[in-house]
Amino acid sequence: MQLHLKDKTALVTGSHRGTGSVIAATLEKEGCQLISHAINEVDRSEHGYSVWGDLATVAGCEQVLEQIAATDLNVDILVNNYGTADRHNWQDTDTDKWLQMYELNVLSAARMAQGLTPGMRERGWGRVINLGTIGSHQPNSIMPAYYAAKGALATLGVSLALELANTGITVNTVSPGYVRTDEVEAGYTARARKRGLSEDWDEVQKMIVETDFPNPCGRIAEREEVADLVAFLVSTRAGFINGQNIRIDGGAVRYV
């Protein structure tokens, strides 16, 4: 299937590591002119166009937008991958933590959309993808500030889709379940080792499914699978998919 992305420029935030780096590589392989992004200058890519700045702050977002403007590239595709969670519970989540999670996971995306969608509107075409989590569908008791922020991000996406109606721009949220990142693999392999279980990845995945992430596929997602979904949604093939919060979770969330 041809995705027709060879004349498009994509910015993937937080693409210096993790799932973001795989999304960036996938879009580049599909022909996009890529603008990569890192939080710190030291993590900035030496390949292609690269920008940096802390998107959790107004100054950092302005810095990134200024660097993009200096490239003379028109961003057609914005993938708001940047965002993060941390381990916290209801009792140790103070006001600062609620605000931090909102700034990291919501305001970062909102500011980038405000900065880049006007150009997309002028050109009559664009794509915005926000990276969410199935926790916005089915939150847990832990990490309440993170799940609340990701729920707000999904709501933001629907609002932005309506704001950009009839402009040629679509806005969607991609919400993965567990993804095989380096951190997830290392953490669960260590847990298996501690329990005296096999450290073979297939066996570790069985443990994850049995204890933490039951789903009909019997495994967790590979980063490439998330990236492939993003690539399809930003393509011309997906022009009638808009305002959606799309789960990629192996069927873990069970409702229709």
Angstrom distance (rounded) from CA 73 to CA 54: 21
Each residue of 144-178: pLDDT tens digit? 999 999 999 999 999 999 999 999 999 999 999 99
Each residue of 35-45: pLDDT tens digit? 999 999 998 88
Angstrom distance (rounded) from CA 63 to CA 70: 11
- Taking the chain (256 residues) in runs of 10, the rounded mean pLDDT of each run is 94 95 97 96 86 98 98 97 93 95 98 98 98 93 95 98 98 97 96 96 97 97 98 97 98 89
Which domains does the chain carry? 9-179+224-248 (3.40.50.720), 181-220 (no CATH)
Please answer whether residues 105 and 146 qualify as being in contact, where contact means their C-beta atoms are separated by less than 8 angstroms.
yes
Say which amino acid occupies 118. P
- Assign 156 to helix, strand or coil: helix
Please answer whether residues 205 and 250 qualify as being in contact, where contact means their C-beta atoms are separated by less than 8 angstroms.
no
- Assign 242 to helix, strand or coil: coil
Predicted local distance difference test score (pLDDT) of residue 140: 87
Angstrom distance (rounded) from CA 131 to CA 221: 14
pTM: 0.96
Predicted local distance difference test score (pLDDT) of residue 111: 98
Tokens read off for 19: 């799932």
| Cβ neighbour number for residue 43 with a 10 Å cutoff | 15
Predicted local distance difference test score (pLDDT) of residue 256: 79
Predicted local distance difference test score (pLDDT) of residue 49: 94
Predicted local distance difference test score (pLDDT) of residue 90: 96
Predicted local distance difference test score (pLDDT) of residue 119: 98
